[in-house]
Each structure stands twice: as C-alpha cells, then as structure tokens.
A and B are shown apart, each in its own frame.
Chain A
Amino acid sequence: RKEVEQDPGPFNVPEGATVAFNCTYSNSASQSFFWYRQDCRKEPKLLMSVYSSGNEDGRFTAQLNRASQYISLLIRDSKLSDSATYLCVVTPYNTDKLIFGTGTRLQVFP
C-alpha cells in the first residue's frame, strides 16, 4: 500500500461547481499535512496547510480526519484558473521528509 494515495481523476467540473478531493495516508502517526497545487509540470506550490480543526482560505477548505486517516480539500465556486493537479503531502512522525501523493487532476470548464 502506498503511504499517500489519491484518486488521479481527472475531475471535470463546470465553473461555479463545488468539488472535493480526498487523500488517504497509511501512517497513523503522521504529523503534518498539506495541499500543494501544480500547474502543467511546473513546480508545485503550497496551497494550504491542513490543521486538525479544519481550516479555510477563501474558496478552499481543508479538513483532517485522523480516525479514518484522510485529508480532504473542498473547492467552492470553481474558477477556470483552478484547473491544476492537487497534491496531497504528509509528513510522517519524527521525520523531516514530506511524502507526496501522485496528485488529483482538476479540469474546470466554462
């Protein structure tokens, strides 16, 4: 089993739609969680950290479910510019290595 797993998609949604991605992780002792965004094989960029209590940044909401070992990303009112690959990243306990999922591709159409 991979340490971090994501549905590769693509998720094809119309503008204005709400879309959600999940990401599961295998190490129950994982301590830090992030969502990164990557455009067309450019470098990944940090989208947001994921906190235990859940957190929101504009149209984006991230949540962590430790019991079921998954994190989620919700995007409301999708824009064309949201089209990208979203990477789930997990830091196992007591390590400085970040483990990446293979990414979920989102395509927003007009």
Chain B
Amino acid sequence: DAGITQSPRYKITETGRQVTLMCHQTWSHSYMFWYRQDLGHGLRLIYYSAAADITDKGEVPDGYVVSRSKTENFPLTLESATRSQTSVYFCASSESGKLFFGSGTQLSVL
C-alpha cells in the first residue's frame, strides 16, 4: 500500500548508544518531517527536509542527525541517546500544506 511507514514500531536502548529510526514514503512528497511527542509539549519539530539533500533544523534538533539521500527515505539518528530522548517519534510527509503521518516509533532510553 502507498503511504508512509516507520520502523521500528518500538525500540528500547541504553544511554550513549546510537539509534536510527527509519521513515519511508511512497508518495514522492517533497517535504518530510520528524516530530517528537511528549506529554505537556505536544508535537515538536526536530528536523525537516524540503527535498533530497536539503534538510533544516526544527524546534528541538540537538542530539539528532538526519539525512535525505533519496526522496523516499528520511532516517533520524540519535548519535548518543539520552534519557530525555525517550519519546514517541512521528515521521510525516506533506502535500499542499497537509501532513500525513507514519504510525510512530515509541523509543525508550534506559
């Protein structure tokens, strides 16, 4: 099915480890986004990308790295995971200003 998929669905890791969250879309949307969602903060933008090889920081980029070598993929890497990065992560793509989200990755950093 066409759409946007994230993997893994759940991830438990330890502080200091590198973790990569995957995001893949089949629509060929130019824009893709990574959000994290925490109680009391709602959805906060981590990074976004306007096209392949173009990325930009959002509201909370520290501790995260992204890449976009292909239009359809937008992985998010936590270089050295910290407990404060325990969260639910949503990837999204957009068309005409409307966002379409993946199912999310629930990440726990112990």
Contact = CB atoms under 8 A, between A and B. Distances in A.
Interface of A: 32, 34, 36, 41-46, 49, 87, 89, 91, 96-103
Q: Binding site of B, secondary structure by majority: helix, strand, loop or mixed?
A: strand
A89 B97 CA distance: 11
B29 to A, nearest CB: 11
B43 A43 contact: no
B98 A45 contact: no
22 contacts: A34-B98, A41-B37, A42-B103, A42-B104, A43-B90, A43-B104, A44-B99, A44-B101, A45-B101, A46-B99, A46-B100, A49-B98, A87-B43, A96-B97, A97-B48, A98-B94, A98-B99, A99-B45, A102-B40, A102-B41, A102-B42, A103-B42
Nearest to B37: A41
Interface string B23-52: 000000001010101001111110010100
Nearest to B97: A32
B15 to A, nearest CB: 23
Contacts of B94: 96, 98
Interface in B88-110: 88, 90, 94, 97-104
Contacts of A49: 98
A45 B100 CA distance: 7
A98 B97 contact: yes
B58 interface: yes
Nearest to A34: B98
Contacts of B99: 36, 44, 46, 89, 98
